[in-house]
Amino acid sequence: MRKPLIAGNWKMNSPDESSKVLLVNVLVHAQLLEKRILEEKDASDIDIAIFPPSVYLKEAQEILTGSKIHWGTQNVSAYDEGPYTGEISASMIRGFGCDYVLIGHSERRCLYETLELDQYVLDQIVAKKYAKAINQGLTPIICIGETAEDYAAGKTEEIIARLLDVLIEHQGPQALAQTVLAYEPVWAIGTGQSATPEWAQKVHSFMRERVAKHDAATAESLRIIYGGSVKPENAREIFAQPDVDGGLIGGASLEVEEFSEICFSAAVSTH
């Protein structure tokens, strides 16, 4: 059985109060959640990770060390060190006690990293970052999803297959055993219009089968999480799908009670 993972991507949001207050709040709610999970007979344990803006990593480390919550960054450099202004290396990230890193989020692909690069070249960059993360013992959460235009053109599987093949070509299928994949349809991010549970299941199952062609055991243990307008109201139904192993949460991760409720949904939706 795969342990569900709920990851909270704060994106470039500074909380209303302060990051410290939000982090402490996350911690307090996680402790309440743990108690709630223990008391619920059909609930199982889950992993929780948050991704604050990198300037808050030190606070995250101070506040969350020793707790059950993991933390990580929203990006990582494809290089170890040198003249790469604005970049942060995998070893620097590790130095802040991070366990996870997001790679290839569509907001990076669409807003910054496209710069006339085609999607195949972007996949190669993602694969380089992936290698750096793995070499530092970080768990990469690799994001992939299609735009509304590609969805309408029926290109979802093609886009996902291309990235998976690049990852496997670079690192071999077994490296995926220490990786999380996140299916995030671009049209569902921040729109309030999440994918239907059936659609998420269809795509996740396609991803698992694609990996299984190379390595069945890795495919079976691989966690594939869903992101895009997950809220407490739709979380249970989405997480109940057999190939959905948790969620990557944007907006709702800044609302601690909502985030906690989504985490609880994952704990009771194990399959």
CB 194 within 8 A of CB 238: yes
CB of 230 to ligand 13P, least distance (A): 6
Contact code string over 179-198 relative to ligand 13P, x by CB under 6 A: -----x----xx--------
**CA separation for the pair 212, 198 (Å, rounded):** 21
Touching ligand 13P, residues 2-41 (CB under 6 A): 9
- How many residues form the binding site for ligand 13P (CB under 6 A)? 14
Tell me if residue 81 is catalytic: no
Cα–Cα distances in angstroms (integers) from residue 195 to residues 25, 205, 240, 249, 261, in the given order:
29, 14, 14, 13, 19
* Phi/psi of residue 132, nearest 5 degrees: -65, -40
Q: Quote helix, strand, coil % in the chain, to nearest 5.
A: 50, 15, 35
Which CB atom, from 9 or from 218, has the smaller least distance to ligand 13P? 9
Annotate each residue in 86-105 with x if it binds ligand 13P (CB under 6 A) or - if it does not, as one string.
-------------------x
**Contact call for residue 230 and ligand 13P (CB under 6 A):** yes
Q: Is 249 in the site for ligand 13P (CB under 6 A)?
A: yes
Q: What is the DSSP string of 31-89?
A: HHHHHHHHHSTT----EEEEE--GGGHHHHHHHHTTSSEEEEES---SSSSSS-TT---
Taking CB under 6 A as the binding criterion, the range among 63-71, 164-172, 225-233, 260-268 that sits at the site for ligand 13P is 225-233
Looking at 227, 235, 260, 267, which residue binds ligand 13P (CB under 6 A)?
Answer: 227
| CB nearer to ligand 13P: pick between 151 and 219 | 151
Which residue type does 241 have?
Q
Binding site for ligand 13P (CB under 6 A): 9, 105, 184, 189-190, 227-230, 248-252
Q: Which residues are catalytic?
A: 105, 184
